[in-house]
């Protein structure tokens, strides 16, 4: 989906543009979600009144200060946390049904690979856990490793790989059950900048090739702007939507786009909003 379709002309944008323009397929739809956590001593409102539609095939990036509920929101979509109030629909059903259909892939900050398994064995793991209940993916574990640039390293063990390679394996593993929605929680946060840049370019290529609805959490305004078609900016205490910022950049992006005036202006705007969150 082209960002221009997702981001209607300014004049047509309502003041609360959490709903998509008419005629666009919606992959994730949330209305007035609240998430409260209760611990021994206190309760925390991690998310308050979050309403948002995410288009089918959209790349949405999430930015916001620490503790504003970014990870919690991904966990709600993945059915790992139940909202205390509000409704959420993932691909036409409740998150639990989407999870049971294996429609959701999740990549965490830490690749969390099993150290005694090779790259290809780690990628195949969700298929084994599903024990025949997963739909056969479009691509085999071997093809997915090729897709993420690890052809020839199928038999490497995690301790033989760099952090960037391990994250590639984690992405391939998240894709093995052929999900429709890919959730990524600061997946490249621990990597050096050059590796991160390269993975950003490759992730956009994989996203375009597979047409996945992607939600990507980051603390980097540059990463958020480079990857996203829209940026969801969350504010903290309590976690809530601050602004949804359209990314009016060409869809074909290489890293040199970061030197363009449009990119510099966009990141300046993201920074200004982030400072008020």
Contact residues for ligand ATP (CB under 6 A)? 37, 39, 44, 46, 64, 66-72, 239
Residue 66 binding target from Mg ion, ligand ATP, none, CB below 5 to 8 Å by type? ligand ATP
Binding of residue 71 to Mg ion (CB under 5 A): yes
- Residue 237 vs 260, nearer CB to ligand ATP: 237
Query: Which lies closer to ligand ATP via its Cβ, residue 80 or residue 139?
Result: 80
68 makes contact, choosing from Mg ion, ligand ATP, none, with CB < 5 to 8 Å by partner type, with: ligand ATP
Task: Kindly state whether residue 72 participates in binding Mg ion, applying the rule CB under 5 A.
Answer: no
Residue 200 touches which of ligand ATP, Mg ion, none (Cβ within 5-8 Å per kind)? none
* CB of 41 or CB of 272, closer to ligand ATP: 41
229 lines the binding site for Mg ion (CB under 5 A): no
- Torsion angle, CA of 201/204/206/207, rounded to 10 degrees? 170
User: Is 220 near Mg ion (CB under 5 A)?
Assistant: no
| In the complex, minimum distance from the CB of residue 215 to ligand ATP, in angstroms, rounded to a whole number | 12
Shortest approach of Mg ion to residue 90 CB, angstroms?
Answer: 20
In the complex with Mg ion, the residue whose CB is nearer, 71 or 214, is: 71
Q: Which residues bind to Mg ion, rule: CB under 5 A? A: 71
């Amino acid at each position: 989906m082209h960002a221009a379709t997702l981001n209607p002309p300014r004049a047509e944008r309502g003041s609360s543009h959490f709903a998509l323009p008419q005629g666009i397929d919606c992959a994730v739809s949330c209305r007035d979600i609240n998430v409260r956590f209760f611990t021994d001593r206190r309760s925390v409102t991690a998310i308050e009144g979050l309403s948002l539609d995410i288009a089918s095939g959209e790349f949405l990036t999430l930015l916001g200060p620490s503790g504003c509920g970014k990870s919690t929101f991904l966990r709600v979509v993945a059915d790992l946390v139940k909202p205390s109030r509000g409704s959420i629909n993932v691909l036409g059903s409740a998150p639990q049904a989407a999870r049971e259909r294996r429609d959701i892939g999740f990549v965490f900050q830490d690749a969390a690979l099993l150290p005694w398994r090779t790259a290809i064995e780690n990628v195949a793991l969700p298929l084994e856990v599903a024990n025949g209940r997963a739909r056969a993916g479009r691509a085999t574990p071997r093809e997915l490793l090729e897709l993420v640039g690890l052809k020839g390293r199928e038999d490497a063990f995690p301790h033989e790989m760099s952090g960037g390679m391990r994250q590639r394996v984690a992405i391939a593993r998240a894709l093995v059950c052929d999900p429709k929605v890919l959730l990524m929680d600061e997946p490249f946060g621990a990597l050096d900048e050059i590796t991160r840049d390269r993975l950003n370019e490759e992730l956009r290529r994989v996203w375009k090739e597979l047409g996945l609805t992607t939600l990507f959490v980051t603390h980097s305004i540059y990463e958020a702007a480079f990857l996203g078609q829209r940026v969801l900016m969350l504010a903290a205490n309590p976690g809530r939507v601050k602004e949804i910022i359209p990314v009016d950049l060409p869809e074909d992006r290489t890293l040199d786009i970061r030197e363009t005036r449009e990119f510099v202006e966009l990141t300046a705007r993201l920074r200004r909003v982030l400072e008020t969150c």
